[in-house]
Each structure stands twice: as structure tokens, then as C-alpha cells.
Amino acid sequence: MLSRLSLLSLPERLEELASALDAGLRAETAAHAAGIDAPVGDGLVEAMRRSGFGLAAHELELLAACERAGRLPAALRRMAASQVRRRDRARRLLGRLAYPTLILGLGVVLALAVVPAGRATGIVTLTLALGLLLAIVGAVWRVRAARRDPAIDPARWPLVGAIARDAAESPYLAAMHALHGSGVPLDEAHRLATKAVPYAAARARLIVAAEALRRGLPLAESLASCASLSPESVELLARAEPLGALEDAFARAASRRDDTLDRRLDRSVRMLGGIAFAAAAILVLVIALDFYGGLFARVVPR
């Protein structure tokens, strides 16, 4: 059990494995350096699967295709960089939401503690707090359901549709960059990259595009025919495909979508933080008016 414990994070283990392979070490030595304790006779990626490396099935399948093409170290580094970016994005967003959420939570607790039971202010505060909690739980459930049900399309949701489109498109483009750069045939790369997309509706559109690709249509035209990607990404791919420069186009399109996603998330978080601060301020004002209004009514005779 202790052999499985490591102070390295998953991205660091990916980087360690890539570094060992680039240095020319044997597969067994590289696997040991990255904390892989399974035999490597069937390949490093298979050893990663058997050792419970921590990657999803579609990520292992992508790495296996790159390993067969002899480009595993580069794919490992790209995957590590992608995971670091996602982790940093999540930490940044949670950090920005933590303080306004705490302030709002303290305001709700203050209202429930100060306002006497049965007063209208307390009842309204409790109702709004429960409604907000149910809305958060419902949103999380809806997002989880969208990963499995193609009838639920987050790209069509109000306010967050653009964010959902970028979040679905970026993993596909990053996977296509890694696979195409490893020499994987375009149709096979498209099939594997589709599995990296988190939402079932977006995956369904890409599956339709795969049919057009098999009929001999260019990749950009196939993706545009069923609105699989944003117009910006299709434009970049359409300009690069005739020139044989798709690898660079995938990288630039993925970078563009990641940058756009970061900016949209930042704007949304600022908006949510502002709403939370405003709600807390209004709540405190209502509590003060309720408290001093009752005190004034008791002091001043009618």
C-alpha cells in the first residue's frame, strides 16, 4: 500500500514519466520513477491502467494511441499542462467566490439568529436560503445529467451556454492537437478526441461530423455541417487544412477557446460575487430596519 503513496500530484507524475522517457531511460525505470508499479510488458499506458494511475479511460486511450505512434512523452506533457490549467482555473474561481459566499452565509445566519421566529423577515430569509440551496443542488444535478443524456444540451442554457460550449470544445481541440501531432489518422483521432468532450449533446454532434468525415468531406466542413465547433475554430481549421497545417491550427484553436473560457468564467464569477455582496448588504439593511423599527415601536407610545 505504501508503494502507491506519492507526494507528487498527477500532473507531476505525468511530467516525471515524460522526463524519464525523454532522457532515454528504459520503460521499467521510467515507470518506477513515476510511481507505476505494474509490469510494462504490454506498454507503459497499459501499465498505467493496471496501476490505477488516476487517468480517465478516454485519457488512457488517447495516450495509448500516442504511444503506438512513438510520441508518448509529448502527449504526457500536453496532458499534464492541460490538467494544471484546469486545476488552477478551478482554484481561482473557488477562491474568488469564497469570500462573497462567506459574507452572504453569515448574513443569512445573522438574520435567522437575530430575527424572532415567525417574523416576516426571518421567514423570507429562510425561504430564500432554502431556494438558493435547492437551485445549486439542481444545477449540479443537471450538469451531471448532461454528461450522460444527449437530450440535455448545456450549450442552449441561458447565461451559461457560451461557457458550456467552450468547456466542451476545448478538450476536443486539445486532444486533436495531441493525436494529429502524433501521426494518428484524422478519422481515428476524431473518434478518440470525441470521448474527451464532457457533455453528451456535444459528443453526439461530433459523432455526426464523423459520418461526414468518413464520406470524404474535409474536417472543417464536416465539423461545420453539424455545428460541432464554434465558427472561430472552424475558420482556423478551414484555413489550415488545405495547407496541411492542422496541428498548429488545433493548438491555436484550443488556446483561443481556453482563453475565451477563462475570460467568460472570470466575468461570471465577478457577477456572482457582486450579487452575493449586494444580497448580503440588502439582508443586513433589512435586519437593521426590522430591529430598529421594532425597538422604535416599543419606545415611542402610539
pLDDT band at 118 (very low <50, low <70, confident <90, very high): low
Nearest CA to 18 among 62, 63, 49, 84? 63
Of 15, 50, 77, the position where a domain reaches its end is 77
Q: Is residue 83 part of a domain?
A: no
190 and 62 together in one domain? no
Of 27, 47, 77, the position where a domain reaches its end is 77
Give the span between the Cα atoms of 208 and 198, in whole angstroms: 16
109 and 151 together in one domain? yes
57 and 108 together in one domain? no
pLDDT(291) > 70: no
Q: What is the mean pLDDT of residues 97-120?
A: 73
Q: Is residue 89 part of a domain?
A: no
Give the span between the Cα atoms of 6 and 10, in whole angstroms: 10
What lies within 8 Å, CB to CB, of 278 at 6+ separation is: none
pLDDT(89) > 70: yes
31 and 139 together in one domain? no
11 and 127 together in one domain? no
100 and 167 together in one domain? yes
The single-letter code of the amino acid at 149 is D
pLDDT band at 122 (very low <50, low <70, confident <90, very high): low
Question: What is the domain-level CATH number for residue 243?
Answer: 1.20.81.30
The single-letter code of the amino acid at 44 is L
115 and 35 together in one domain? no
Model pTM score: 0.84
229 and 271 together in one domain? yes
Rounded alpha-carbon distances, angstroms, from residue 165 to 12, 200, 225: 29, 12, 17
33 and 128 together in one domain? no
Count of domains for the chain? 2
**Domain boundaries, position 276:** 96-302
Contact between 207 and 192 (Cβ < 8 Å)? no
pLDDT tens, position by position, 134-163: 888 888 899 899 999 999 999 998 888 999
Q: How many residues does the chain have?
A: 302
44 and 104 together in one domain? no
Q: Is residue 42 part of a domain?
A: yes
Of 48, 77, 106, the position where a domain reaches its end is 77
Q: Is residue 205 part of a domain?
A: yes
3-state secondary structure of 37: coil
142 and 291 together in one domain? yes
pLDDT band at 264 (very low <50, low <70, confident <90, very high): very high
Give the span between the Cα atoms of 218 and 209, in whole angstroms: 10
Give the span between the Cα atoms of 235 and 219, in whole angstroms: 11
Q: Is residue 26 part of a domain?
A: yes
Q: What is the mean pLDDT of residues 91-95?
A: 87
pLDDT band at 208 (very low <50, low <70, confident <90, very high): very high
Q: Is residue 52 part of a domain?
A: yes
125 and 47 together in one domain? no
pLDDT(61) > 60: yes
Q: Is residue 82 part of a domain?
A: no
Q: For residue 119, how far is the Cα from the chain centroid?
A: 43
Q: Is residue 125 part of a domain?
A: yes
pLDDT tens, position by position, 5-43: 456 789 999 999 999 999 999 999 999 999 898 899 889
> Average pLDDT of the chain?
86
Give the span between the Cα atoms of 181 and 74, in whole angstroms: 9
Q: Please report the sign of the dihedral spanned by the C-alpha atoms of residue 191, residue 193, residue 197, residue 201.
A: negative
